[in-house]
Amino acid sequence: MDRRNFLKAAGVSIALPNLEAFSSTKKGEKIRRFVGIAGPLGVYPPNFFPKKGGKNYQFNESTKALKDFKSDITIFKNLDHDLNGGHRGVHALFSGVKREDANANVLFPEKNISLDQKFANYAGYKTRFHSLAVCPSGKNKLNLMNTTTWTKNGIAVPNIEDPAVLFDKLFKQESPQTIKDKKRKSGIHTSILDTVMGQAKIMNKTLGRADQTKMDQYFTSIRGLEKKIQVQKGWFDKDKPKVDKMSMAAASQHDLFPIFFDLLHLALVTDSTRSCVFHVPFGFDLSGIGITERGYHACSHHGKNPGATKDLTEVDTFLLSQKARFLGKLKESNILDDTVVVFGSGMSDPSKHSNVCLPIVVAGGGFNHGEHRIYSEDPHKKTRLCNLYLTILQSLGVEEERFGNSTGTISGFHMV
């Protein structure tokens, strides 16, 4: 890859680390990435899903923004998590497991861990930031509406809602005093862990077999935390990538979308992180895209009203146009084939509060794209969405045989 063309395509002046992509012969591990784009209120299905399956499908009104990327995307129909609950099922989009089920079911040892976090636990230690979750100034509504990223302990990953905060996090060089303070705090954390581990090992000798098993799991968690602290220490003395200051000016909320996607693009090309999720805010102000008669939530409860379905289709079109723009930037930077981008929602037809047949579009990642893949509607023959997620995880290098409520990998979808 030519370095000057790369910087020009990225749209900024940027000093990058030595990426494998700059070498004529790639050595070592291939860099893989994941990006999730999560909508909270489903789509208008008749204008989203193509009428025909296979390779000769035609884009519908909502998805036409993706037409230039037909060979890079796959649209999936009839995949879901076999869940219900309407709004209260949306937070399971990237996990397949509702929070309350994860806490009550021993079948989920990693609770409701989401796809992005599962991958980040595998690849995150190689980058400055384990993962990123963003939402354009959208405060959580209905408790879980802007939350789809979950740790293995069932804890929601907080969103960054201000692009200036994200820019500083990624690219603002820290003062020597700040770095010194971080090193001091890290040392305190390490000494506390050493004490806890010492006490726990003494206690473990007096426990029965069942309790020793629990303590082994505890030791594993502590070792993982130790490793995380050691990795963080390694970044203290390394300069962050240098980029030109970006304009964060936004006349309305919709203007924040491309700003956030540009920042995520820069985070990926600088290898600052390899896992991130963009959350569409539940309280998205639609006036910036010309919808003034009703809000986002009112559009979703369309009841087949022509005006409301038209407005919801406009929202869907805007969101997929933002995905298309982001895919274009990844493609210009020659990293689309190594980056899996999943667009979806934990709700399908919001007017019915349905969590069945979720709208899912997968792009990039080197898969055999170019199709509208329609799976069985028969409840006894349904393919679970987590089967697709397991396939994606394996393509990203995560050697797992199960994810969420998966029953295997998905048929017919594979890397080429």
- Report yes or no: 384 and 405 within 8 Å, Cβ to Cβ: yes
Provide CB contacts within 8 A for 173, sequence distance 6+: 239, 240
List the chain domain ranges: 32-171+245-395, 174-238
Output 202 or 55, whichever has higher pLDDT: 55
Give the pLDDT band of residue 239 (cuts 50, 70, 90). confident
Give, to the nearest 10 degrees, the angle between helix 256-269 and helix 3-10. Answer: 160
Summarised one tens digit per residue, pLDDT across range 306-346 is 999 999 999 999 999 999 999 999 999 999 999 999 999 99
The owner of tokens 């208008």 is 44
Rounded to the nearest integer, the mean pLDDT of the chain is 86
Q: How far apart are CA 331 and CA 329, in angstroms?
A: 5
Summarised one tens digit per residue, pLDDT across range 367-389 is 999 999 999 999 889 999 999 99
pLDDT of 8 higher than 50: no
Summarised one tens digit per residue, pLDDT across range 20-49 is 444 333 455 689 999 999 999 999 999 999
Give the pLDDT band of residue 215 (cuts 50, 70, 90). low
The owner of tokens 């069942």 is 210
**CATH superfamily of this structure's domain 32-171+245-395:** Alkaline Phosphatase, subunit A (3.40.720.10)
**Stated pTM of the model:** 0.83
Helical residues (DSSP H) of 366-405, grouped into ranges:
385-395
Please give the single-letter amino acid code of residue 401.
E
The owner of tokens 């805007």 is 318
Q: What angle do CA 322, 299, 317 make, to 5 degrees?
A: 25
Provide CB contacts within 8 A for 125, sequence distance 6+: 227, 228, 231
